[in-house]
Structure 1
Amino acid sequence: MKKFVLVCALLFTLAGCNKPLTKEAALKRMDAQESKVDSYSLDMDLSVKVSALGQKDNSRVEMSSEVDRKNNGYSVDLTKADGEELEVIIKEGKAYLEDRPGVWKKTAKVDAKEFSKQVDYSVPLELLGFVSEDVGFETTDDEYHFMYDGYDKKLYKTLKKYYNISFTGFDTDEDLSIQMNMIVDKKSFNVKEMKINVFAENKKGKVVVSIDSEFDNFNAIEKIELPEED
């Protein structure tokens, strides 16, 4: 009888250990995990669709990055909306642009700052923090899903700061809405994907800005070195 009671108690204990985390607990674990992220890769697409004032236009920028947070190093491959391809290496606030294959030129510090803030792993956590109370939360076998749909002024201002988005001809308090979805690995508490859509719509038309980010290769990036300037 005692053995049976002991087995039942053990089963209940194990069941309690497997109890899914709450949204608040998952957010705390994600914040704690950030300090353990020394490096990662990031693929990010930023697209703009415009249908306003009788005009239609679509543009897209693609960026693939390797980030060495521990040594403050960044390697960025960028494809601009006009198809131009750029490769930038940043370390310790210095930025170098590949002028032509194998030839590097030092570029403005503002470029280093701009790229660094866009690809930093702290950005998804900062954005999520602004709207954490209003975020929907679901859990699957392998992932946590955070979902937001609404408008938050601080969230928009931060998106504008990091991604240089703006909406001429729209009232940002009345005409804008934001959708944000974030997927987090359940085992490591690392952010895997972040998808953001900012919608602006009024009588003049509609603009949609989309920011899709995928994170991978955590703590597996080799040390990034500055190239030799030509």
Structure 2
Amino acid sequence: MKKIVLVVALLFVLSGCNKPLTKENVLKRMDTQEAKVDSYSLEMDLSVKINALGQKNSSTVEMSSEVDRKNDSFQIDVLNADEEELEIIIKDGKAYLEDRPGVWKKTAKVDAKEFSKQIDYSVPLELLSLVSDSLDLETTDEDYHLVYEGYDKKLFKTLKKYYNVSFTGFDIDEDLTIEMDIRADKKTFNVQEINIKIVGENKKGRVVISIDSELDDFNKIEKIELPEED
């Protein structure tokens, strides 16, 4: 009889452990996990599609980065809309830009930081916190998806701060919709994917800005070294 009671009790405990996490608990675990992320790699595409004011155009900026948060170091490769390649290394309060293959020049850190702030791990967590009450939680076998759709003024201002997004010819409060899907791994609670779409639409046309990022190589990035200045 005691064995049966113990088995039933054990099954009850195990079933309690498998209880799905709430949205609030997922966000809390993601915030806690941030302190354990010392380094990571990030691939980001920022694209703009315009079909408004008589214009029809599109452009994309691609960014590939290695980030060592522990030592406040960044190595960033950028392919801009004009297909110009830039490589930037930031470390120890110094920033270097590859002037031409193998030749490095010191550059203004304030300019280089414009890139580094876009890839900081804290950004998606800040975005989620701004609209936490309006998020939907969707789950798959491997991931948690924090999903938002609507318009929040603080969220847009924060996106503008980090990604320099702007909409000319649109009423910011009336014509914009923000779609955001941030994916976290179920086991580690690391942010692994960020998909943001800002749509401006009115009688003048439609503009879509998309920001898509993937994060990987958590705590596996080797030490980033400063180049030798030419």
Bin for the TM-score computed over the shorter chain: over 0.9
1:76 maps to 76
Kept after mapping to 2: 8 A contact 1:64/1:77: yes
Off by >3 Å, runs of 4+ in structure 1: none
Alpha-carbon distance between aligned partners in 1 of 2:142 and 2:177, rounded to the nearest angstrom? 30
Residue 18 of structure 1 deviates from its aligned partner by 1.4
Alpha-carbon separation, structure 2, partners of 1:172 and 1:198:
11
Q: How does 1:132-147 map to 2 (within 5 A)?
A: 132-147=132-147
Q: Deviations over 1:13-47 (max 9, x none)?
A: 11111111110001001001101100000000000
1:214 shift after superposition: 0.3
Question: Corresponding residue for 2:164?
Answer: 164
Q: Retained in 2: the 8 A contact 1:93–1:113?
A: no
Return the alpha-carbon distance in structure 2 between the equivalents of residues 74 and 137 of structure 1: 32
Shift of 1:55: 1.1
Give the CA deviation at 1:147.
0.7
Matched, 1:104 2:99: no
Equivalent residue, structure 1, for 2:126? 126
Asked if residue 177 in structure 1 is aligned to residue 174 in structure 2, the reply is no
Q: CA deviation at 1:92?
A: 3.0
Gaps of 5+ in 1: none
Please give the alpha-carbon distance, in whole angstroms, between the structure 2 residues aligned to 1:173 and 1:53: 19
Note if contact 2:41-2:216 (Cα within 8 Å) is conserved in structure 1.
Answer: yes
After TM superposition, give the deviation of residue 113 of structure 1 in Å.
1.7
Shift of 1:223: 1.0
- Classify the secondary structure of the residue corresponding to 2:81: coil
Aligned length: 230
Query: What is the CA-CA distance between 1:5 and the residue it aligns to?
Result: 1.1
Identity %: 74
The aligned amino acid for 2:154 is K
Secondary structure (helix, strand or coil) at the match of 2:194 reads strand
- In structure 2, what residue type is equivalent to 1:213? S
- 1:15 paired residue number: 15
Q: Distance in 2 between matches of 1:174 and 1:93?
A: 42
1:1-230 alignment runs, 5 A limit: 1-230=1-230
How far, CA to CA, are the matches of 2:84 and 2:229 in structure 1? 22
C-alpha RMSD over aligned residues: 0.8
**How far apart in 2 are the matches of 1:92 and 1:120?**
17
Contact 1:93 1:112 in 2 (8 A): no
Q: Secondary structure at the match of 1:90?
A: strand
Structure 1: distance between partners of 2:131 and 2:92: 32
Aligned counterparts of 2:140 and 2:199: Cα–Cα separation in 1: 28
| TM-score scaled by length of structure 1 | 0.98
Amino acid at match of 1:122: S
Q: Is the 8 A contact 2:90 2:109 kept in 1?
A: no
How far apart are 1:175 and its partner, in Å? 0.7
Q: SS where residue 11 of structure 2 aligns?
A: helix
Task: Structure 2: state its 5+ residue gaps.
Answer: none
Preserved contact between residue 94 and residue 112 of structure 1 (Cα < 8 Å): no
Q: Give the partner amino acid of 2:158.
A: T
Tell whether the 8 Å contact from 2:46 to 2:209 is kept in structure 1 after alignment: yes
The SS at the match of 1:63 is: strand
SS of equivalent to 2:166: coil
Question: Aligned to 1:74, what secondary structure does the other structure show?
Answer: strand
Secondary structure, counterpart of 1:173 in structure 2: helix
CA distance in 2 between partners of 1:55 and 1:139 (Å): 39
Which whole-Å CA distance do the structure 2 matches of 1:90 and 1:223 have between them? 12
Deviation digits for residues 124-177 of structure 1, max 9, x if unmatched?
Answer: 000011011101101222111111000000000000000011011111011111
Contact 2:89 2:97 survives alignment (8 Å): yes
1:105, 1:229 within 8 Å by CA — same for their partners in 2?
A: yes
